Structure 1
Amino acid sequence: MRISDLLNQEAIDLNAKVSSKMDAISHLVDLMDRSGSLSDKEAYRQGVLAREQEGSTGIGEGIAIPHAKVAAVKKPALASMRVNQGVDYDALDGEPAKLFFMIAAPEGGANVHLEALARLSKMLMDDQFREDLMQADSVSGFLGIIDRKEAELDAEVQKKESGKSSGEMTVDQQGYPVLAITACPTGIAHTYMAAESLEKKGQEMGCPVKVETQGAEGAKNVLTAEEIRQAECIIIAADKNVDLARFDGKRVIVTKVSDGIHKPEELIEKGLHGEVEIYHHIAGEETAEVKGEGLGRSIYKHLMNGVSHMLPFVIGGGILIALAFLFDDYSIDPSNFGKNTPLAAYLKTIGEFSFGMMLPVLAGFIAMSIADRPGLAVGFIAGMVAKAGCTFANPAGGDVNSGFLGALLAGFVAGYLVLLLKKLTAKIPRAMDGVRPMIIYPVVGILAAAVVTTFINPFMGIINTALTNALNSLNGTSKILLGMVTAGMQSTDMGGPINKASYVFATSQLSEGNFEIMAAVMAGGMIPPLAIALCTTFFKNRFTEKERQSGMVNYLLGLSFISEGAIPFAASDPLRVIPSCIAGSAIAGGLSMAFGCTLRAPHGGVFVIPTIGHPFLYMGAILIGSVVGCVILAVLKKPLQKMGK
């Protein structure tokens, strides 16, 4: 498949007028929709925005390649636009983006289009090609430039293949001093741009570099065992896990895929002449950490890895427990409420099984994020020791309640203990490598993590008990204020660190029996999209036609507790949207607390309303908060006519 098969004239705009990153994405999505490639335009746009949250697709050099691989794409396609004056797109080099190619890839099915997308990504690394596209005076001329460049690349490939078949000595046979692997999460654009950048810079430096690309269509240009044996260094430029086992005993540089795009000379020079650690593979390990990551970011990443794996257990268990109370008969035996009837007893038992896994799973996956697979079992057991509240005086547990905080700390202890064991055993004979993952890590690691966790349990128990007692003692104004603060945090960054901190805190309190905080937080998270949806409905003159269309989707997102639906509006007008949403969320959270609403399930939106304590009052709190946010936003935003639009 050729690029011209994916990009038609209706999806190209050479004179786009956009003023922000969100405008650029919206305009490109509209162009993409014209090609008939989307079954759900808004779902595709949300997929693009989700990809942007992982890292900007503004790769620098005036290029941006926003993309998404989602079910909302009916067939693979490209859309392109040129913004001659440039627009701030949070590019990696800080420069405005002028040339845009948006990629739409279907979630499943054949991947015949991926070769063309890979070819386009490589072509965009050519300075002259980009300049020619910027100078094109018509859409047909724009497409003609792409066709000619693509034909040129095809000819180069054929020439290379012809040289191999004729028996000419090639670099492949002579060996490469530097090898590389590039990979990005979606495997569509950055993977191939990094590969092209490394190969091109290697040629300029007189140091041929062979790059294996691990893209969406699988590994291409795979490094051979002989090439690896002859190479002086291997560069891993990747933002996802890469199997390093075959590089045992070689000098390996592990870095980000963006460094492969923007720092190829630095990486190659370091690979040839710099101090690079020799990688020693350990059975059971597959990946290495990217260097240069800040401590705060690293800790946050490990914590979020544990939380993301924990949430399915909490959500599933919490909803089943809530349903047990909904279907039970309180009058049979108030002291056994939740298990009085066979159905309720079964639901509550299964829910408790799931809910009971929360703390071990949290600790296990924090440890795994830190130390890879060897950390998983160690973290699980440390989490169970924390959950049981084991002490040296009572190894069976039950004396203290270290709770969520104890399990969280246990996960970090387990992970870093395994890392310590790796370093301490790094010098053992190679013949004994199999002993490390099979005996040393599980036996020594589990014992050491359990001992440390047992030691800290009493201290964590004191902290956890004090926090629980303090929260339980809150009433009146203090209680309402707590609900306002935790709910308001949901609207500050719409799925960012502050939002997640509020959510994790509320989730942690579920295991302590504090169900009111979770209700307030979910109410706060539902407000941003609902307030925006109401405002686009009742104050239409404050929004463009595109924004009003997007606003309708926010009704569903808000009712489903998906606060990210407000991100496009917040990004385009943060000074008005964010304060309005924070105010609405705070009001909803405060009212939820005042009404004594409770929630045992940490997700679900309106779909779990029947399981909420005081459901009608809770819906009232959400409605009032949404209206408050809507009205404040309407007051802050002036009608478009008055702004000259």
Structure 2
Amino acid sequence: MKITELFSKSGVKLGVEAASQAEAIDVLVDLHDASGNISDRDKYRQAVLDREAQFSTAVGDGVAIPHAKTDAVVRPGLAAITVPAGVDWNAPDGKPSDLIFMIAAPEGQANVHLEVLAKLSMLLMHEDFGAALRAAKTVDKFLKVIDDAEAAHDAEQAEKERKAAEAKAAREAAAAAAAPAADSALPQVLAITACPTGIAHTYMAAENLEKVAEQMGVTIKVETQGSVGTKNALTAEEIAACRGIIIAADKGIELSRFNGKPLYSTNVSAGINDAERLINIIMNGEAPICHAEGGASAPAASAATEGMGSTIYKHLMNGVSHMLPFVVGGGILKAIAFLLDTQGMGTAAYGSSTPLAAFFNLVGGTAFDFMLPILAAYIAMSIADRPGLAPGFVGGWLAKQGFTLGYLATAMDAEAQGALISGGFIAALFAGFAAGYLTLGFERLCDHLPESLEGIKPVLLYPLVCIFLIGLVMLALNPIFAAINSWLTGALNSFGTGNLVLLGAVVGGMMSVDMGGPFNKAAYVFGTGMLSAGTTSAQIVMASVMVGGMVPPIAIALSTTFFKNRWSAADRKAGIVNYIMGLSFITEGAIPYAAADPGRVLPSCIIGSAIAGALSAGFGCTSPAPHGGAWVTPVIGNPLMYLMALVIGAVVACLILSFLKKPLSAEEAGLTK
């Protein structure tokens, strides 16, 4: 399949005028629609925006490659535009993008087309190719430039493969003759590139690393882990002979095969924009040694390239993301138990006085009981990989149960035993990080053991010693965490209405500060963590957190609906989707608007979210569920006033935003007849 076979003439538009990224995306989506590539325009467009929300698809030098893989695509296709004036696409080099390709990839179909798209991504790394496309005056000329470049690329690749085959034959011949220089043809540097979607950035990073290495006189081999699977896989012989490995990836990469080799891990964008520095790190011997026995995997970027704060945040989010399904499922099932058990209301058996209610309470409670152990387990696993999982889980369970050394001392005397007090969320956080770093430290110590013990380390030594150590630590420290947890729970329960209103305003406003970033996540983690206490005050905090996160998308949707002259036609079309996203507690739906106009959007949404959070707390609204938005209203305490708090907060934010934004001309707003 050729690249141009993914185009139709109706899928290319030259000399487009687009004032914003959103307008350019709308033009490209319309081209796909006109070409018959998509069945649901809005769903495909939203998938593209969701991909952009992860990080910009601009790759620098005026090129952007927005893309999405979704079931809204009926056949693989490409659309392209040139924008002479350029569009701000948050490119790493700060330059506007004037050559934009949009990829539509279908779910669940053969991936032959992805190889073609990978080839296009690699071609775009060459400046002369981009210049020729920008200079094209007609669609036919534009497509011919692609055909010619593809033919040249295929010929070049064939020549590379021929030379690689000759080099392999030479190595094999040298090895057969016991020549000492047999490894001279092996690459000096190895690399792996990967991104979450594996469509464009994976291959662009690979192409740039190869191009820069050639300019530096360094031999390199790059393995790509894209949607088409692993290509150009690194061999054990190459790994043994290389000077080091570069991991340029935004997803986890299996590292056990690189154990003991110099390895530098970073994000995929660095492979595209900073290849020379990465290669120099390996060639100058500056990369740390990889310690990755037992199936360890690389995170998106190593601690060497991140600050301490972002490293801790990444480990925490790994625990929270794995914990949430237990909290969501367990919390809602427990809430349903109380909804069903009307006859037990007011009694000690409320929630379990009927078989059906007891079933929901048992299953939901069981799921909820795993919340803290799972949090700790996956924090530890993020730090120490698989060897950290078991110690983290055990540490989290001990934290939840509140076992202490004092309890063990009275284990044989039931009368002398005191009540166990859980260390709660804070103790589980500590257990996760402690288990992770204890395991990591023990792994380092085991590096000095004889090689004959290599096989038993992950199956015997790591779990045995690390579970013992975390058990000792948690039993010793649980009394401290129990005291902290008891104080925090008591403080929340003793809060008067005024204090809870203030707390609701703070956590609600934080949800809008960065809409999915660290402030948003801090408020959310605080809310979900409080749920483990099982108190009414904790559920009031969770309700304020959730309503605060629902306000921004709904405020945007209201403004685009009722203040049309403040927004472009493309903004208004996208605004409709924000009703659903807001009601679903997906704050990120407002990100494209906040990114385009942060000075007006963020203050408006923060004020609206703070008001909604405060009103929710003031009305005494409770939420046993940490997610679901309006769809879990049946389990919300005081649901009508909760919805009222949401409406008031969203309307206030909408009015402030619409007042701050200057009206557009009828032509700019697309309101002319």
Name the TM-score, length of structure 1 as normaliser: 0.94
Q: Which amino acid aligns with 2:588?
A: E
Report the equivalent of 1:547: 571
Report the equivalent of 2:487: 466
Q: 2:251 aligns with which of 240, 255, 266?
A: 240
Report the equivalent of 1:294: 307
**Alpha-carbon distance in 2 for matches of 1:163, 1:81:** 37
**Alpha-carbon distance in 2 for matches of 1:170, 1:246:** 25
Give the stretch that moved more between structures: 162-171 or 560-569: 162-171
**Alpha-carbon distance in 1 for matches of 2:165, 2:633:** 69
Q: 1:421 to 1:71 in 2, by over 3 A?
A: same
Secondary structure of 2:253's aligned partner? coil
Q: 1:166 to 1:332 in 2, by over 3 A?
A: closer
Secondary structure of 1:427's aligned partner? coil
Secondary structure of 2:577's aligned partner? helix
Report the equivalent of 1:57: 57
- How far the C-alpha of 1:384 sits from its partner, in A, is 0.6
* Contact persistence 1:177–1:231 (CA under 8 A): yes
Q: Which amino acid aligns with 1:16?
A: V
Report the equivalent of 2:453: 432
Give the stretch that moved more between structures: 26-35 or 101-110: 26-35
**Alpha-carbon distance in 2 for matches of 1:110, 1:5:** 16
Q: Which amino acid aligns with 1:76?
A: P
User: Counterparts in 2 of 1:196-595, with a 5 A limit?
Assistant: 196-279=207-290, 281-287=292-298, 290=302, 291-331=304-344, 334-395=347-408, 398-512=419-533, 513=535, 514-595=538-619
* Contact persistence 1:39–1:72 (CA under 8 A): yes
**Alpha-carbon distance in 2 for matches of 1:273, 1:176:** 16
Secondary structure of 1:113's aligned partner? helix
Q: 1:552 to 1:325 in 2, by over 3 A?
A: same
Name the TM-score, length of structure 2 as normaliser: 0.90
Q: Which amino acid aligns with 1:541?
A: N
Q: 1:560 to 1:268 in 2, by over 3 A?
A: closer
Report the equivalent of 1:48: 48
- How far the C-alpha of 1:361 sits from its partner, in A, is 0.4
- How far the C-alpha of 1:415 sits from its partner, in A, is 0.6
**Alpha-carbon distance in 1 for matches of 2:504, 2:259:** 53
Q: 1:620 to 1:436 in 2, by over 3 A?
A: same
- How far the C-alpha of 1:643 sits from its partner, in A, is 9.5
Q: 1:93 to 1:41 in 2, by over 3 A?
A: same
* Contact persistence 1:368–1:379 (CA under 8 A): yes
* Contact persistence 1:388–1:398 (CA under 8 A): no
Report the equivalent of 2:38: 38
- How far the C-alpha of 1:283 sits from its partner, in A, is 2.8
Secondary structure of 2:442's aligned partner? helix
* Contact persistence 1:283–1:433 (CA under 8 A): no
Stretches of structure 2 lacking an aligned partner (at least 5 in a row): 174-184, 412-417
Q: After superposition, what is the alpha-carbon deviation per residue over 1:418-448, rounded to whole angstroms, capped at 9, x for unaligned?
A: 1111111111111111222122211111111
**Alpha-carbon distance in 2 for matches of 1:407, 1:267:** 37
Q: After superposition, what is the alpha-carbon deviation per residue over 1:116-149, rounded to whole angstroms, capped at 9, x for unaligned?
A: 1110111111121122122222222111111100
**Alpha-carbon distance in 2 for matches of 1:133, 1:100:** 11
Q: 1:614 aligns with which of 614, 617, 638?
A: 638
**Alpha-carbon distance in 2 for matches of 1:241, 1:321:** 35
**Alpha-carbon distance in 2 for matches of 1:53, 1:12:** 25
Give the stretch that moved more between structures: 450-459 or 18-27: 18-27
Report the equivalent of 2:147: 147
**Count of residue pairs the alignment pairs up:** 645
Q: Which amino acid aligns with 1:511?
A: S
**Alpha-carbon distance in 1 for matches of 2:366, 2:422:** 19
Secondary structure of 2:305's aligned partner? coil
* Contact persistence 2:57–2:64 (CA under 8 A): yes
**Alpha-carbon distance in 2 for matches of 1:281, 1:615:** 50
Q: Which amino acid aligns with 2:99?
A: L
Secondary structure of 2:447's aligned partner? coil
**Alpha-carbon distance in 2 for matches of 1:440, 1:9:** 63
Q: 1:431 to 1:555 in 2, by over 3 A?
A: same
- How far the C-alpha of 1:362 sits from its partner, in A, is 0.4
Determine if the alignment matches structure 1 residue 110 to structure 2 residue 110: yes
* Contact persistence 2:22–2:570 (CA under 8 A): no
**Alpha-carbon distance in 2 for matches of 1:388, 1:210:** 51
Report the equivalent of 2:415: none
**Alpha-carbon distance in 2 for matches of 1:542, 1:518:** 34
Q: 1:574 to 1:284 in 2, by over 3 A?
A: closer
Give the stretch that moved more between structures: 15-24 or 343-352: 15-24
- How far the C-alpha of 1:67 sits from its partner, in A, is 1.8
Report the equivalent of 1:599: 623
* Contact persistence 2:22–2:571 (CA under 8 A): no
Secondary structure of 1:640's aligned partner? coil
* Contact persistence 1:22–1:572 (CA under 8 A): no
- How far the C-alpha of 1:162 sits from its partner, in A, is 6.0
* Contact persistence 1:284–1:437 (CA under 8 A): no
* Contact persistence 1:329–1:340 (CA under 8 A): no
**Alpha-carbon distance in 1 for matches of 2:668, 2:35:** 32
Q: Which amino acid aligns with 1:157?
A: Q
Give the stretch that moved more between structures: 607-616 or 403-412: 607-616
Give the stretch that moved more between structures: 456-465 or 402-411: 456-465
Q: Which amino acid aligns with 1:551?
A: G
* Contact persistence 2:508–2:545 (CA under 8 A): yes
- How far the C-alpha of 1:388 sits from its partner, in A, is 0.9
- How far the C-alpha of 1:159 sits from its partner, in A, is 4.3
- How far the C-alpha of 1:276 sits from its partner, in A, is 4.0
- How far the C-alpha of 1:600 sits from its partner, in A, is 0.8
Q: 1:170 to 1:59 in 2, by over 3 A?
A: farther
* Contact persistence 1:484–1:585 (CA under 8 A): yes
- How far the C-alpha of 1:167 sits from its partner, in A, is 10
**Alpha-carbon distance in 2 for matches of 1:37, 1:550:** 20
Q: 1:170 to 1:571 in 2, by over 3 A?
A: farther
**Alpha-carbon distance in 2 for matches of 1:458, 1:408:** 15
Q: 1:306 to 1:148 in 2, by over 3 A?
A: same
Secondary structure of 1:334's aligned partner? coil
- How far the C-alpha of 1:336 sits from its partner, in A, is 0.9
Secondary structure of 2:105's aligned partner? strand
Secondary structure of 1:98's aligned partner? strand
Stretches of structure 1 lacking an aligned partner (at least 5 in a row): none
Secondary structure of 1:93's aligned partner? coil
**Alpha-carbon distance in 1 for matches of 2:282, 2:608:** 54
Q: 1:613 to 1:248 in 2, by over 3 A?
A: closer
* Contact persistence 1:22–1:571 (CA under 8 A): no
Q: Which amino acid aligns with 1:613?
A: G
* Contact persistence 2:540–2:621 (CA under 8 A): yes
Q: 1:208 to 1:348 in 2, by over 3 A?
A: same
- How far the C-alpha of 1:495 sits from its partner, in A, is 1.7
